[in-house]
């Protein structure tokens, strides 16, 4: 689990908050994995009726993928970049096929992967 994603249950709502404000909540592989884990845990939980995606402090929802990591990976062997996209696209698919309502608050800066995780929401 990563501290860059905060998960909580607030009444009947599972809440996923991106918490990487210095990087405009840019997504990492660990963040995508943490969101997948939360969605999987809540999928079979009858007390969770909906899922909310938003961000903690900062001036935007999500700047997309972590460009620095992607550039460094691309300059090397590309393994980390491929792992990121594999995990992020699994997250997008999970959100598109999730049986419970999902809502994303895309306030402020929202680009790339941030749009990718918000568009599947209801």
**Residue 106, pLDDT score:** 95
Domains in the chain, number: 1
**Residue 56, pLDDT score:** 94
**Residue 70, pLDDT score:** 96
Going by pLDDT thresholds of 50, 70 and 90, the confidence category of residue 1 is: low
pLDDT, tens digit, for every residue of 19-63? 999 999 999 999 999 999 999 999 999 999 999 999 998 889 999
> Structure tokens of 9?
């249950």
Do residues 88 and 31 make contact, with C-beta atoms less than 8 angstroms apart?
no
**Among candidates 35, 33, 40, 44, which has minimal Cα distance to 15?**
35
Strands 13-18 and 5-10 come out as: antiparallel
CATH number at residue 40: 3.90.226.10
For the chain, the DSSP string reads --TTEEEEEETTEEEEEE--GGGTT-B-HHHHHHHHHHHHHHHT-TT--EEEEEESSSSEEE--B-HHHHHHHHHTTSHHHHHHHHHHHHHHHHHHH-SS-EEE---BEE-THHHHHHTT--
pLDDT, tens digit, for every residue of 86-120? 999 999 999 999 999 999 999 999 999 999 999 99
Do residues 70 and 84 make contact, with C-beta atoms less than 8 angstroms apart?
yes
Give the domain range for residue 103. 5-118
């Amino acid at each position: 689990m990563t501290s860059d994603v905060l998960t909580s249950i607030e009444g009947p709502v599972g809440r996923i908050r991106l918490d990487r404000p210095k990087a405009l909540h840019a997504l990492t592989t660990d963040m995508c994995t943490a969101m997948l884990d939360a969605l999987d845990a809540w999928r079979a939980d009858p007390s969770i009726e909906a899922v909310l995606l938003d961000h903690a402090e900062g001036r935007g929802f999500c700047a997309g993928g972590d460009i620095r990591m992607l550039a460094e990976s691309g300059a090397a062997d590309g393994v980390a970049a491929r792992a990121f996209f594999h995990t992020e696209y699994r997250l997008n698919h999970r959100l598109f096929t999730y049986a419970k309502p999902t809502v994303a608050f895309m306030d402020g800066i929202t680009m790339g992967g941030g749009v990718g995780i918000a568009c599947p929401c209801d």
